[in-house]
Amino acid sequence: MSSIEHVLEETRTFHPTADFVEHAHIQSREEYDEMYKHSINDPDGFWGDAAENFHWFKKWDTVLNKDAAPFYTWFEGGKTNLCYNCVDRHLTTWRKNKAALIWEGEPGDTRTLTYQELHRQVCKCANALKSLGVKMGDCVTLYMPMVPELAIAMLACARIGAPHSIIFGGFSANAIVDRVHDADSKFIITADGGYRRGSVVPLKATVDEALEKCPGVEKVLVLKRADNAVEMKEGRDIWWHDAVDAASADCPAEELDSEHPLFILYTSGSTGKPKGILHTTAGYMVGAALTSKYVFDLRDEDTYWCTADIGWVTGHSYIVYGILANGATSVMYEGAPNHPDPGRFWDIVEKYKVNVFYTAPTAIRAFAKWGDEHPKSRDLSSLRLLGTVGEPINPEAWMWYRDVIGGGRCPIVDTWWQTETGSILITTLPGAMATKPGSAGLPFFGIQPQIVSEEGEPEDGMHSGLLVIKEPWPSMLRTLYGDDERYKEVYFSKFAEQGWYLTGDGAFRDKDGYFMIIGRLDDVINVSGHRLGTMEIESALVSHELVVEAAVVGFPHEIKGQGICAFVSVPADITPTDDDMGVLRNHVAKEIGAIAKPDQIRFTEALPKTRSGKIMRRLLRDIAAGRETTGDTTTLEDFSVMAKLREENEA
Ligand code: WTA
C-alpha cells in the first residue's frame, strides 16, 4: 500500500486563483457543501431541478423509482431525446452558429461544425440509417476513426432510438465478433481507414474479417476517410457518401421513454467476456451534462478539449453528450499525440486556444518523458483548467502537469469514475475547493461514497478499504446487456443486504474527507487508463497451441501506469525461444487488440498454486514487479516453482 504512504506524506494543497474563483460556477466550499447536502437530503428535489434544464416532450412522473432495486429507474413517465438536447435545443438560441465540434485530422485537415450544420448532418445520417432498415431499439455497432462522422453517427442513433455500441478502433476482428454477437447487432458503421501515427489503420478490412463470423449483420455503412482500397460486398456494404448525402435533412427526433436504451459499451471485468454496460437516456443525460458543467466549469466562450478516444466512455460522456448538452465547443483530434512530433497536442492547444484540457495520466507521463521543450515552445496561455481521468495519477506527474502545462495557474480536476457510472463521481470542483496531488477529491452532488472493510463495516475518518457507493445516481448503468443476473452478481452481491454498489476499486479517505483512489482490487489491469481483464488475456494466450496455462498480472510501468506480464507454462517437451514470445504477443494482439499485448512473457514449467489449485497471483505480481515476495507462501503447492521464477528475476 505504498500509495497510501505517499498520500500521507503529501502535504501540498493548491487553491484556485482569485480570478478563477470569480468566474466559476461554484465559488466556495460553503456553496458546494450546501448544494451537496441538499442533493443527499432531497435527491428527488435536486435531480428533478437539474432535469428541468432539458427539453422534455413529456415531463416525468417520478424522479427515482427504487421498487425493483438494484434495477433503478429515473425520470419514469418522461419522454425526451438526448440528441435533441445536444443539438436541436441550441438552434433556437444564439448558439445556432456556434462551433459544436472543431475537428483536426492527423494529417492536418480540419473541419468545424456549427450546431446548425451538425443538426443537418445528424438528421441526414439518421434518415440514412432508417433507409438501411434500422428501427427503434436496433443496436448499431460503430467501429470508426476519430472523425466528426463518429459523433454524427452516435447522435443519429440517439435521435432515432437505436442504441449504439462503439468498439474502439484498436480492437481486433475477434473483439468485434464477440461484441456484435452479444449485442445481436445487425448494422455496422465503419470507415475505409483512419490515420494513426502516419499510417492508415484499415478498419473496413478488420470489419470484413469479423463479419465472416457474423452472418447476422445485414448492412455496413462505410465512410470514406483514408482513401485506402476496400472491398465492398454487394448488397451488404453501402458508402456513407451515397446513403447519407442523398438522405433528407428532415428527421424529427423520436420521443423516447426516459429509460430507453441509449448505448451499450463493452468493458473488461475480472471474469469471463467483456461486459456490455447498458446506459439509458434521461438519467445519463442529466448526469453527464451536470458534471460537464460543474467539473469543467464550462463557459460559453470556452474551447474544451478532451483527448480521449470516443471508443471509451470518457469520449462518450465528455467529448460528445455531456459537452454538447451544455452547448459548448468540443475539440476532437483524430491521431496520435506524438505525430509528427511530441508537440502535436500543444500545437492544437495553441492553434484553437483551448481553455479546458482533459487527458489521461499515461499521456501526461509520456509528455513529461518526451521533454519540456515541446510544451514550452508553444503558447499554452489560453488554458485555464486541466483534468485527468482513467487511472491514479502519481504526484510527480501531477506536479509536472500543473507546472509545465498549466503554468502553475490552472486548477487540476482529477476525476474518478467508471464506464459503469456514466459520469464523474469523485473529483474537486475547481473554483470551490483546493486540490492535492494524487487525490481525486470529494463526491459530486448526489453521490455517497463510503470506504468499507471486506466485511462491510463502514470505515469513517482516515481509512483505506473498498470503495462502495451507497445510493443510486441518475447516470449509473442499468444492467449488463442481456445478463441481469451478472449485473446483480458483479455490482450488488457483495453487499446485497446494504444495497451498495461495489466499485471494484480500493480507496483511501484522508483527514479532509478527500478520496484517493488506489486502484482495482480485482483482476483488472489498467493499462494506459484502459481496463483489461487478466482473464481475457489469459484466454487469448491459452487458445495458442504453445500454451498450457497462463497467468496474467499487472506490474508498475513508468508510462502506462500498469504493464502486462504473462506467466506462461508450455508443454514439457517444448523449450520456448525468444521468437515464441513475439509469436504469443502477436497472438494476443490478434485475439483482442494491440493494447492487450503483454509487455513481458515469462515462460515457466509450472505456475505457483495453492493446494486447492488456485494460481497465486499475489506472488506473481511481486515477481513481475521485481519485488521481494513477502507474503505467506506456506500454502504453495510447489516451492521450487517460485524459487525458479525468482532466480530468473535475478538473472
Ligand atoms: C480507474 C474510465 C484513479 C479506476 C472513466 C476505475 C481512476 C477504472 C480514475 C474505470 C482516477 C478512473 N483516479 N483511478 N481519476 N479514473 N480510474 O471504466 O480503477 O475505463 O475503476 O472508466 O479506472 O475505468 P473505465
Mutation probe of ligand 1 site: the residue of 6, 275, 309, 418 with most atoms within 8 A of C-beta: 418
Report, as an integer, the average pLDDT of 32-46. Answer: 98
The atom number, within ligand 1, closest to the CA of 503 reads 21
Ligand 1 center to 360 CA (angstroms)? 10
Domains of the chain: 18-506 (3.40.50.12780), 544-650 (3.30.300.30)
Ligand 1 center to 429 CA (angstroms)? 18
Amino acid in the structure at residue 292: S
- Alpha carbons within 13 A on the beta-carbon side of 100: 33
1 has a pLDDT exceeding 60 = no
Beta strand 549-557 with 561-569 is: antiparallel
83 has a pLDDT exceeding 70 = yes
* CA–CA separation, 628 and 102 (whole Å): 51
* CA–CA separation, 605 and 626 (whole Å): 19
pLDDT tens-digit series, residues 227-279:
999 999 999 999 999 999 999 999 999 999 999 999 999 998 777 788 999 99
Local confidence band at 606 (pLDDT 50, 70, 90 cut-offs):
confident
Which helix (DSSP H) or strand (DSSP E) does residue 451 occupy?
Answer: strand 449-452
Ligand 1 center to 540 CA (angstroms)? 24
- Asked whether the whole model's pTM tops 0.75, one would answer yes
Ligand 1 center to 267 CA (angstroms)? 12
- The predicted structure's pLDDT at residue 573: 87
Report, as an integer, the average pLDDT of 552-563. Answer: 92
* CA–CA separation, 365 and 359 (whole Å): 11
- The predicted structure's pLDDT at residue 269: 78
Local confidence band at 5 (pLDDT 50, 70, 90 cut-offs):
low
**Which residues contact residue 579 at a Cβ distance below 8 angstroms, ignoring those fewer than 6 apart?**
none
Q: Whose CA is nearest to atom 1 of ligand 1?
A: 391
pLDDT tens-digit series, residues 320-350:
999 999 999 999 999 999 999 999 999 999 9
Report, as an integer, the average pLDDT of 288-300. Answer: 98
Report, as an integer, the average pLDDT of 618-636. Answer: 71
Which residues have C-beta atoms less than 6 Å from ligand 1?
267, 312-314, 389-392, 414-419, 440, 503-505, 517, 519-520, 526, 531
- The predicted structure's pLDDT at residue 640: 67
Ligand 1 center to 148 CA (angstroms)? 26
* CA–CA separation, 630 and 619 (whole Å): 9
- The predicted structure's pLDDT at residue 650: 60
**Which residues contact residue 437 at a Cβ distance below 8 angstroms, ignoring those fewer than 6 apart?**
10, 12, 393, 395, 398, 399, 402
Cell triple for 644: 525458479
587 has a pLDDT exceeding 90 = yes
436 has a pLDDT exceeding 50 = yes
Report, as an integer, the average pLDDT of 141-159. Answer: 98
* CA–CA separation, 346 and 352 (whole Å): 10
- Average pLDDT of the chain is 94
Ligand 1 center to 505 CA (angstroms)? 9
Written as one string, the DSSP assignment of 350-415 is: HHHT--EEEE-HHHHHHHHHH-THHHHTS--TT--EEEEESS---HHHHHHIIIIITTTTS-EEEE
Q: Whose CA is nearest to atom 22 of ligand 1?
A: 418
Cell triple for 575: 523449450
Q: Whose CA is nearest to atom 6 of ligand 1?
A: 418
The atom number, within ligand 1, closest to the CA of 520 reads 19
Q: Whose CA is nearest to atom 12 of ligand 1?
A: 390
- The predicted structure's pLDDT at residue 634: 47
